[in-house]
Chains A and B, each alone.
Chain A
Amino acid sequence: MREIESSRITEAVAKLCMEANFKLEDDVQESLEKAYETEKSPVGKEVLKQILDNSRIASTERVPICQDTGMTVIFAELGQDAHIVGGGFEDAINEGVKRGYTEGYLRKSIVADPVRGGNTGDNTPAIIHLDLVIGDRLKMYIVPKGGGSENMSRIAMMKPADGIEGIKKFVVDGVREASGNPCPPVTVGVGIGGSFERCALLSKKALLRPIGSDNKDPFYDKLEKELLLLVNKTGVGPAGLGGTTTALAVHIETAPRHIASFPVAMNLNCHAARHKFIEL
């Protein structure tokens, strides 16, 4: 059995919370640069110019791209032949979040009690999704997720008869009604199938795929591309001020469903689609 020191998890999380908030991954950066070239609205182009200038300043000066440095969402895959030693897994992650958000001067945005309020003071706890897999490694995606885009997410328990047309209407209406609030150009994560809670999780997981990559299933790849065209025809545009770039990508994740159910969920990410990956 391979051993993984919990302190390594803490160090990795602390570092990646900062890196994710200071510098966009290449896929996001390139896709924004392309959008700046193709955007037809002058106001939209001005917004994209500001977004690109902003990302340069943030990575050079090592300051957060956005003041909303998010809730720290972590997708972890733990190999069943790995053994974490020296402390608890969740404690190690939360210690990393605490350290990263303090050392990086990142904003602490977590309300301790959802109704009675109070701030936890260190951006913990992280939202941790853990899958147990074959192998002896630990893989982690660190995804700081802002409130503005998260608030525009939705889920519907549709009828199986609603089918593809139902999915299209759900996504396009959702993006149009979200308007400028989720900070477009957005990445649209769509979950189809599973149960109520699985579907929501799929829609968030869909945001992890690199922008510009194809869906492995040609059927859903075609649907993704069609949805992207439809979303970009809404006219919402950069920052919602009107334009031809409303989304950079639409990604779909699916799961088998109950014969009576047809859950569809949509999770939006803002133009600062922050994510980092590490394998320990």
Chain B
Amino acid sequence: MAEYSLETPLKDEEIKKLKAGDKVSLSGIIYTARDSAHERLVKLIEAGEELPIPLEGQIIYYVGPAPTPPGKAIGSAGPTTSYRMDPYTPLLIENGLKGMIGKGERTEMVVDAMEKGTAVYFAATGGAAALIAKSILSSEIVAYEDLGAEAIRKLEVKSFPVIVAQDCHGGNVYVEGQKKYAE
């Protein structure tokens, strides 16, 4: 279990070093999107239209935060389950997306896209939403405000704690970690 501190946007040589199970501390800009926002992004790409956020080198965090209380940068903001985004993810990776943060295992179509496009999937601890919110310095809605909690937000993060869940070499902490402790 190696430990890294990474700044966004991510570079290919950094992603290639990462192995499933490594602990990573992320800083810089990341974007949020979940089910409905993914559907819209994919429709725009398919129609050849411009996207409301850049994808090249970027990280998308699957989260629908709680409302922001007065005096805070954001409400509690833990990861949602990632597999629901699997049908949309390969196209985003083909268009430059380099990282995703969520919880739970990804399917084969995403794993293939991650290998081809040199991308990485990080797990944040599901339910550690108040802790994670502390690493978010600022939050700004940049698209799809009508989606409420599902709107796309631009987040500035510092030392956001994640674990490499699935790397770009086919490594998978869910499979490897569980196998190690199964009796």
The residue from A40, A43, A53, A237 contacting B131, defined by CB atoms under 8 A apart = A53
- The secondary structure that dominates the A interface is loop
CA distance A146 to B111 in the complex (A): 27
List, in ascending order, chain B residues with CB within 8 A of A47's CB: 125
List, in ascending order, chain B residues with CB within 8 A of A53's CB: 128, 131
8 A Cβ contacts from B132-183 to A: 132-134, 148-149, 161, 163, 165, 173-174, 176-183
B90 at the interface (CB under 8 A from A): no
CA distance A182 to B104 in the complex (A): 9
8 A Cβ contacts from B95-133 to A: 103-105, 123, 125-133
Q: Interface residues of A, CB < 8 Å — how many?
A: 48
Instruction: Report if A64-B1 is in contact (Cβ < 8 Å); known contacts: A107-B67, A233-B182.
Output: no
CA distance A270 to B161 in the complex (A): 20
Nearest CB to that of A101 among chain B residues?
A: B67
Indicate if the CB atoms of A180 and B67 lie closer than 8 Å: no
- B-contact bits for A173-187, CB 8 A (1 contact / 0 none): 000000111010000
Indicate if the CB atoms of B75 and A63 lie closer than 8 Å: yes
B77 at the interface (CB under 8 A from A): yes
Indicate if the CB atoms of B127 and A65 lie closer than 8 Å: yes
A186 to chain B, nearest CB (A): 11
Nearest CB to that of B132 among chain A residues?
A: A54
CA distance A54 to B80 in the complex (A): 16
List, in ascending order, chain B residues with CB within 8 A of A237's CB: 177-178, 181
Nearest CB to that of B175 among chain A residues?
A: A242
Instruction: Report if A234-B178 is in contact (Cβ < 8 Å); known contacts: A64-B76, A107-B149.
Output: yes
The residue from A66, A181, A234, A235 contacting B81, defined by CB atoms under 8 A apart = A181
Q: Interface residues of B, CB < 8 Å — how many?
A: 47
List, in ascending order, chain A residues with CB within 8 A of B83's CB: 181
List, in ascending order, chain A residues with CB within 8 A of B165's CB: 241
A166 to chain B, nearest CB (A): 22
Question: Which of B65, B129, B132, B179 has the most C-beta atoms of chain A within 10 angstroms of its own C-beta?
Answer: B129
List, in ascending order, chain B residues with CB within 8 A of A57's CB: 130-131, 134
B38 at the interface (CB under 8 A from A): no
Indicate if the CB atoms of B104 and A69 lie closer than 8 Å: no
Indicate if the CB atoms of A64 and B125 lie closer than 8 Å: no
CA distance A40 to B104 in the complex (A): 21
8 A Cβ contacts from A192-243 to B: 233-237, 239-243
A235 to chain B, nearest CB (A): 3
8 A Cβ contacts from A58-86 to B: 58, 61, 63-69
A93 to chain B, nearest CB (A): 21
CA distance A206 to B71 in the complex (A): 39
The residue from A43, A44, A54 contacting B130, defined by CB atoms under 8 A apart = A54
List, in ascending order, chain B residues with CB within 8 A of A46's CB: 23, 163
List, in ascending order, chain B residues with CB within 8 A of A29's CB: none
CA distance A272 to B1 in the complex (A): 26
CA distance A66 to B104 in the complex (A): 16
Indicate if the CB atoms of B75 and A107 lie closer than 8 Å: yes
Taking A43-B173, A51-B128, A63-B130 as known contacts, 8 extra A-B pairs with beta carbons closer than 8 A to each other, sorted by chain A number, are A51-B125, A57-B130, A66-B126, A109-B149, A183-B103, A183-B126, A235-B177, A240-B174
7 pairs, CB–CB < 8 Å, chain A vs chain B: A43-B1, A54-B132, A57-B134, A63-B133, A69-B66, A107-B149, A242-B174
